[in-house]
Structure 1
């Protein structure tokens, strides 16, 4: 059995195991093993389909409840949904951005002593919301130029990685509060593909200019993964391109 499926991995292996027709499990140990593997593979397929359905529903719900947040750099479906749950469960506790930061455990606690002026980690608040802020901070540190520049400035002042992350989470909590309490409509993207076609441009050309992948541009055009910053840069670039004229 190992030899038969040795060259397969991932989805191919799961599909191949699910299609097998082993003998009754009572015949030999090999038959029992094959039936167990087929059972596990089919369970994997069912759970994968269920996860896909749930992800689709959750994306639709978050897009309807907080479209601007979902389109902001670093906010994914799970992190947006987590922050929405935190805010929805505590509507009377988020009158200010400071109270929302405290609710998320992102407000550093003063721990000064004598001539030492410092703050320590806040271990209180909603830990799921704190996790969401942490994930957003990590995404931005890896891909957002403004966040990288901010982290570089903090590093120059002598702050370590943990202190920089705490500062970032506090800043993101402030931003998230504004996105939750003062929502704005997400930028439209349904005209981007038409604009690209009118100018005779390909997905590869757009992706190359915007320093991303063609699949990411396709997702943006279809509205499956909105991004306010990327949309603005894409639209600005399209406006600088001349439409093609067709002559007979």
Structure 2
């Protein structure tokens, strides 16, 4: 069996083939263009038994990984951090070239049996794209709103209240009577920002409508969990992707960064806060935990139980986040078991 490791970049990709003993049997660099896939096929077909390993198959390597998958090739996704460790251990130093990286990717796939196979993009990919687009729109809206708030504060004595929206900003601008050319410029800029704000609001509303349709197509039961809205459902499903890559709820919790890390030494047994994991999922779980700890329900009961045990409010919310990770994992597993089978 030949393992072909691929180190992708925007303008090129480097492929290195290794045999079962880890010896390099082939190496080639390809320019990224319309003929890249064809050239890679011709080069790799010299080996009848082959597997591909792509670094970052959900990032820069997404395109070539999906093309190889469409060609019925077996493709695994190699995390860049794991490949980096293999490269350092294999070379014994900090030497780094594209060929070294591609070889490390191949060696990782050869030695590590727990890598995830690349799958076709599905509804979860759509949800992730829509979720990331909403995050971009919200950040841009916040920037525009802050700038508009600053201009209105300079135009109106005492400024305007916080929590400004487009309607309130428009009403405030109608009352502005500039006395100088500078204030006239500020008013004109504020009007432009108001137009941008309305466009952002419209785009966010349209994005959320797309998100509702995409979530409805999944028939997920996550919205039944108190505190999980359509927006949070889309982010959860989009970032989780294929739930089968997590063999247990504990693995899922570790991925979300909600399980504490063991930090014991000698006779001292202790744990510390996990600051790793997928921070987007961690943020969603934090939002749901805050909501459930505030409102009546099972989450509030569990939160108060932890408070009664001597936990601080922050520690109690972290414990609730860990419990919610289990709940979400079970929901997604159950949804997948009952999902209708569609013809492909």
Same fold (TM over 0.5): yes
Aligned to 1:104: 256
1:178-221 deviations in whole A, cap 9, x for unaligned? 11121299xxxxxxxxxxxxxxxxxxxxxxxxxxxxxxxxxxxx
Structural mapping, 1:113-152, within 5 Å: 113=265, 116-152=268-304
Kept after mapping to 2: 8 A contact 1:109/1:122: yes
- Alpha-carbon deviation of 1:65? 2.2
Which consecutive unaligned segments of at least 5 residues does structure 2 have?
1-154, 339-344
Q: Matched residues in 1 for 2:240 and 2:247: separation? A: 11
1:136-172 deviations in whole A, cap 9, x for unaligned? 1111001133222212222222222333222211111
- Alpha-carbon deviation of 1:66? 5.0
Give the direction of change, closer, same or farther, for the CA distance of 1:73–1:34 in structure 2 (3 Å limit): same
Largest Rg, 1 or 2: 2
Aligned to 1:37: 190
Q: Matched residues in 2 for 1:32 and 1:52: separation? A: 30
Aligned to 1:81: 234
More strand by share: 2
Q: Matched residues in 2 for 1:172 and 1:6: separation? A: 39
TM-score, length-scaled by structure 2: 0.45
Q: Matched residues in 2 for 1:168 and 1:50: separation? A: 34
- Alpha-carbon deviation of 1:68? 1.0
1:97-125 deviations in whole A, cap 9, x for unaligned? 11111111112122334554432111221
TM-score, length-scaled by structure 1: 0.61
Aligned to 2:206: 53
Give the direction of change, closer, same or farther, for the CA distance of 1:96–1:66 in structure 2 (3 Å limit): farther
- Alpha-carbon deviation of 1:35? 2.0
Aligned to 1:226: none
CA-atom RMSD in angstroms: 3.2
Aligned to 1:231: none
Give the direction of change, closer, same or farther, for the CA distance of 1:72–1:6 in structure 2 (3 Å limit): closer
Q: Matched residues in 2 for 1:94 and 1:182: separation? A: 14
- Alpha-carbon deviation of 1:19? 7.8
Which consecutive unaligned segments of at least 5 residues does structure 1 have?
186-248
Kept after mapping to 2: 8 A contact 1:62/1:80: yes
Q: Matched residues in 1 for 2:160 and 2:289: separation? A: 40
Give the direction of change, closer, same or farther, for the CA distance of 1:74–1:170 in structure 2 (3 Å limit): same
Q: Matched residues in 2 for 1:34 and 1:55: separation? A: 31
Q: Matched residues in 2 for 1:162 and 1:35: separation? A: 46
4+ runs of 1 displaced by more than 4 Å? 16-20, 113-116
1:1-43 deviations in whole A, cap 9, x for unaligned? 638x989x644333347889x99xxx94444333222211111
Kept after mapping to 2: 8 A contact 1:62/1:70: no
Give the direction of change, closer, same or farther, for the CA distance of 1:117–1:144 in structure 2 (3 Å limit): farther
Aligned to 1:234: none
Give the direction of change, closer, same or farther, for the CA distance of 1:117–1:54 in structure 2 (3 Å limit): same
Q: Matched residues in 1 for 2:249 and 2:227: separation? A: 19
Kept after mapping to 1: 8 A contact 2:254/2:277: yes
